[in-house]
Structure formats: structure tokens, C-alpha cells
Amino acid sequence: MSFKNRLMLGFIVFGIILIGVAILSIYNLNKSNLKIAHIDNAFEKYIEKKEFFDYQIKHIELKLQTLKNSDIFKEYIHEGTEHEHLKELFLTITGTSSNIMQLRYININGDEKIRIDRKEYDSIPYLLEDKNLQNKANRYYFKDTLSKNKNQLWYSQIDLNKEQGKIEQPIKPVLRVGTPIFKKDKKVGILIINIFMDKLLQKFSKASLYNIYLIDKNGDFISHPNKNKSWNKYIKNGFNIKNIFPNEFRNILENDKYKDKKIFSSTMDIYNSDNLKIVIEPKSFHIKKQLDNQLHDLFIMMVGLLFLSIPFAYLFARAPLKLEEEIEKRDKLLVEQSEIKTQNKILKNKAYFDNLTKIYNRNKFEELFEFEIIRQKRYKGSLSIAVLDIDHFKDVNDTYGHLIGDEILVLVAKIVTESIRKIDIFARWGGEEFIVVFPQTKLEGAIIASNMLREKIHNIEHDSVKDITVSFGVTTYQENDTLTSLFNRCDEALYIAKNSGRNCVKSL
């Protein structure tokens, strides 16, 4: 073989080795970057699933509160008046959600007084005849719900429904939500809803790019991507979180949030004894598919470079440079994507939240309030709002400066945020004015809540400003009200409060 041919062969062999090493390096780098990117995106998937789960639970809570606060049910509790309208109300509320399995009122003795059943998800609910009603005094859910205080909710574990002491087949995952019922200040029974959880858990676990697991505090699966591995605590199938993630399971169980190169996990906000956690794992086949596509592209590029190298051997020296440029291009793209995601998050916060107090701003408030108006018109409950204004706030700014004024605004926002209910909506309306929406609350309740907030704010201790007070204007929703008409009434009531010496609550 001539020197020329040996030299050409040497270039080709060297080129094959060099390109092969470069491709392997790019492949491993992209593999690592893809895993990191998928784990970062898992947090967004967690937010999506958490919001879905929270919405479903809040939807059931709302039905329970709607029934509890209805005039028909109150009349039944306080006057002992039982008529067909009450049973129709129970049937109607059950009929509005396909996932309600049972809706019951059980009196203080444990006797079922009204019970609506649904055999299967989305089937027609029916009223159980009086002769078939049972006593539930010894059931844990009756005792646990009855132990709660007024306006508290009790949540059961998510478990499997049993009939005559045996797990019902096919299995029916159930969550129970209950609340005690009072006549004046005396407990007289409970309201409790049983929820079909199978469809909800299926939608919760559905994700094309991730395996999503729902576990309890012991690491037992409530929901597993493979249905045969779910409910291991009841079915005794031998599966637990430590079987799937032997190196990570302790961190998953012991931390509210945990993330590594393999998984993301977080505690779910449902206040039952399960202490539910979600575990999100990128699907390996999806990552492998992306890597295979990239490897295919790189392989085509290698073959092309090899063919070009035969007549143009000197191009071998440039091949590593081109590959390096490809690496930089891909890394730059990943960095740009990360920066875009960060900027989008910043823009979202600016669009929804007040920059100083970190509570909702006026734009987000108006969006949420429109939803409350729609819900009010549909369910015909009660809805009240309050506008609060910091008294003599201009004097605070003039005397102590705007930095101290900002501190007062932040303190007031913090006190109100920590004191109101989760269903209440709180926002900064502008300047030293704030606005609170009290869903499912009549005017009297809103006045009581406003006075409670007023007293807490008055007790704020500040190094510079010794006496911080606020005035409240309160009103309640009337038919065909809008945000503008409600706010105008609140503003008038606030004007009255200001002219009545401040540090008080007035209503219209």
C-alpha cells in the first residue's frame, strides 16, 4: 500500500475514532441535560396535578357547605321540619357531581336520617328508604367527624370501599369528607359525603411524559402507573415505594419536598391521616426516544463527514470544531430555554401579585371575583366583601417616611392573610386600601370577620408607629350586583366609618 493510501487510511481511521468519541461525549452530555430538564419540568407537572386535586376536593367541600348553609336544611335542624324538599335538595346536590357515592345526614345517636346512594360513577343517585337506614354510631368516620369543631371539615383516608367487612369488587377507592352539625351551640349530628376516587385518581396519574405515584405516609401506593401495583396496603401485592426507589424512599417520606436527578416528590395539601405525597418520575422510554433521535442525527452527520473526508482529508481537522459548535449551540439553546422559563415566571408573578405586599393585585382580584359572581348566581348562596383603609396613612408617610409606610402595608397584609379562610380572596386595591371577599358569608358574618381583623391589626407592634388602626366598609351581594356596584357600597360604608371616628366597621 502506498504512503498516500496509508496516509488517507490513517486519516479515515483517526476521523472515525475522533467522531465516535465526540458523538459519545455529546450523547452523554445531552443525556444528563435531558434528565435535569425533565426533573425541572416535573415541578410544573406537580403544580398542575396539585391544582387539579385541590379543585376536585374544594368542589366537594363547597357542596357540603352549600347544603349545610341552605335554608331548607337549617329549618330541618332548628325546627325539626322534615319534608320532601329536603330530600330533593340532597338528591339534587348529589346529582350535580358524578363522583359523589353517598351523601348522608346522621344524627347525634348515629342514626342515618337521610341517605342518598349512587352504585357506580355517573349512575343515577337514589334515596334510600327509611327501613334500610342504618345506625353508624360505632363507625370511625362518624366519631371522627363528630369530634370536629363548628365549621371544621374532616377528611378520611383514601381507602377501598367495604361491603359486609370485605373489600368490594371491583375495587372502589373512596374519600370521605364530613362536618359536624350544630343546633345553636350543641352538636346534633354530621353531614358526610363519600366520593368515588377511581376516575379522579386515573386523571391524576395520567401523564404522557412522567410516571406519577401517589403514596401515603408509610410509602404504600394509593395510585401507581401500573394499576396492579396500587393499593398494596389492602391487596397485599408486596409493592411499596422502597421497592421502586430503594435509594430515595427515605428522603421521599421524611421531606415535604425532595428532588434529585431521578425524581421529584412533594407533600399534598389534604388534611387527613394519609399525609399524601406525590412522586414524579420522568419516563425512561421518552428520554431514550429523544436520545435515540439525537444519536440518529449524529450518526447521519458522522457518515456524511466520513464521505466528505475521502476526497478532502484535511476536513478531518475541522470535524471536531463543528462538533464543538454543535455542543455549544445545544447548550446555548438549553440556557435560553431556562432563561425564558424564568422570565415567564417573573412576568406571571408581576401580572398576578402586588410587588410590595406579595398578595393578589387588582387585576388578579377582578379575575377571581368574576368567578365568585358566576358561582354566586349559580348556587344562590351568600357573598360579602369588605374594603379596609389604613387610618391616617398619609400622616405616617409624612412623619416617618415612605419606607416605614411600606412596612405598615406589609404588616397589615400579613395579618389579614394569616387570619382569613382559605376560600376568602384578599388583594391590594390601591394605595393603603385592601379588599376582602368572603364567599358563603352573610353580612353579619362579614362584619364579625372584619371586626376580628380590625382588632388584630390594632394590636400590631411597630418600633416607630405606635397606634395602627384601620376602618372597614362592608356590604353583601344583591341580585345583579357587579364588582363596581359592590365596591361603591363598600366605599360609602368606608366613608361613614372614617367620619365616625375611624377604627371601626360600618356596613351598607
Q: Is 83 left (phi over 0), alpha (psi -120 to 50) or beta?
A: beta
Specify whether the CB–CB gap between 106 and 116 falls below 8 A. Answer: no
Grouping H, G, I as helix, E, B as strand and the rest as coil, residue 106 is strand
> DSSP alpha helices (H): ranges in 223-361?
232-235, 241-244, 249-254, 284-309, 319-352
3-state secondary structure 161-216: CEECCEECCCCCEEEEEEEEEEECCEEEEEEEEEEECHHHHHHHHCCCCEEEEEEC
Please report how many Cα atoms fall inside a 13 Å half-sphere around the Cα of residue 432, on the Cβ side. 21
Residues that are catalytic:
432
CA–CA distances in Å: residue 382 to residues 66, 337, 485, 508: 10, 46, 16, 15
Listed residue (408, 472, 413, 414) closest to 443, CA to CA:
472
Element (H, E) at 483: helix 483-499
| DSSP percent split of the chain into helix, strand, coil, nearest 5 | 50, 20, 30
Determine the Cα angle at 157 with ends 153 and 160, to 5°. 130
| b/e 11-25 (16+ beta carbons within 10 angstroms → b) | beeebeebbeebbee
Strands annotated E in 325-424: 383-390
Antiparallel, parallel or unpaired: β 264-267 and 210-215? unpaired
Element (H, E) at 56: helix 3-68
Q: Which triple of cell numbers denotes residue 398? A: 409624612
> 114 φ, ψ to 5°?
-140, 130
Q: How far apart are CA 354 and CA 70, in angstroms?
A: 36
Q: Which triple of cell numbers denotes residue 263? A: 425524581
Q: How far apart are CA 218 and CA 62, in angstroms?
A: 30
User: What are 266's strand-pairing partners?
Assistant: 257, 278
Specify whether the CB–CB gap between 121 and 99 falls below 8 A. Answer: yes
Q: How far apart are CA 282 and CA 38, in angstroms?
A: 6
